[in-house]
Amino acid sequence: MRQARKLAVLTGAGVSRESGIPTFRDAQTGLWASYDPARLATPQGFLADPPLVWRWYDMRRAIVLDAQPNPGHLALSEMEEMIPSVVIITQNIDGLHARAGSRDIIELHGNIARYKCFENEHPQADVQPGLGEPPRCSCGSLLRPDVVWFGENLPPAALERAFSEIRSAQVALVVGTSGLVQPAASLPFIARHHGAYLVEVNPEETATTIIADCFLQGRSGEILPRIVEAMRDLKV
């Protein structure tokens, strides 16, 4: 990593776990252990019960607004001091990488702080909190959070750039993702195919571990600061 000119980092919910934001698939504490993704994270679920989905995102937005970047987010932003090009490709919608100071961030699944309308994707600012149900856009369509639900396409420019960055990285660092959701889950495989050295940080083995050159087992809030410390000690 110390010698890399370009580092691409793919992050998932696990990197924000130590900020108090639940992951999706952890058996006991993950969101999908208590909530049904088909009802809450699909366009069909939203149309079936807009207030339910609206309130669920209000609840999660409150958690995100209360959360602070943890040492893992901060360590990733510090890597920018040691590697000429660092790009963060995140599946997270919480905005914590930006708050930690990372400067080049690709958000693959949107951002919970933004809204758009369901029919026409008109962006909407200044939505009042605590309404209990989605208000309407000036075009008449219901508003929704600007996140990517199952069955929806990822923002094309973000996805295209993510593929391009991962193909040209010397090192790819995959942090806190189960590697189960496509197309993000393909990125480590593409990185490896194009010759990147692949490092994974996760307390558990995942769908990516089998192709990792280096699997660092543990929490990102502990492992990533240790990587930064080791890099600072190294002269290149």
What's the N-to-C CA distance of the chain in angstroms? 11
Cα 206 from chain centroid (whole Å)? 16
Which tokens is 226 given? 């240790």
Looking from the CA of 14 toward its CB, the CA atoms found within 13 Å total 25
Residue from the set 1, 9, 93, 96 that interacts with ligand BJW by CB under 6 A: 93
Q: Which region, judged by CB under 6 A, interacts with ligand BJW, from 97-105, 136-144, 164-172, 219-227?
A: 219-227
Does residue number 73 form part of the binding site for ligand BJW (CB under 6 A)? Answer: no
For residue 29, what are the CA distances in angstroms to 22, 48, 86, 133? 7, 26, 31, 26
Which single residue brings its beta carbon nearest to ligand BJW? 14
Report the site for ligand BJW in 124-143 (rule: CB under 6 A): none
Does residue number 71 form part of the binding site for ligand BJW (CB under 6 A)? Answer: no
Q: With contact defined as beta carbons under 8 Å apart, do 176 and 13 qualify?
A: yes
Nearer to ligand BJW, 5 or 193 (CB): 193
Which tokens is 126 given? 């200044």
Residue 210 sits at φ, ψ, to 5 deg, of -60, -25
Does residue number 148 form part of the binding site for ligand BJW (CB under 6 A)? Answer: yes
Does residue number 65 form part of the binding site for ligand BJW (CB under 6 A)? Answer: no
Does residue number 12 form part of the binding site for ligand BJW (CB under 6 A)? Answer: yes
Residue 114 sits at φ, ψ, to 5 deg, of -105, 155
What residues are labeled active site? 109
What is the distance between the alpha carbons of residues 50 and 58, in angstroms, rounded to a whole number? 12
Does residue number 188 form part of the binding site for ligand BJW (CB under 6 A)? Answer: no
Does residue number 36 form part of the binding site for ligand BJW (CB under 6 A)? Answer: no
Shortest CB 166 distance to ligand BJW, Å: 16
Shortest CB 5 distance to ligand BJW, Å: 26
Does residue number 64 form part of the binding site for ligand BJW (CB under 6 A)? Answer: no
Q: Which region, judged by CB under 6 A, interacts with ligand BJW, from 122-130, 170-178, 189-197, 209-217?
A: 170-178
Residue from the set 13, 79, 88, 171 that interacts with ligand BJW by CB under 6 A: 13
Write the CB contacts of 24 (distance below 8 Å, at least 6 apart in sequence).
Answer: 13, 30, 31, 32, 37, 178
| Size of the residue set binding ligand BJW (CB under 6 A) | 36
For residue 194, what are the CA distances in angstroms to 1, 11, 165? 16, 19, 11
Residues that bind ligand BJW (CB under 6 A): 12-15, 17-18, 23-26, 30, 41, 91, 93, 109, 147-153, 176-178, 180-183, 202-204, 206, 219-221
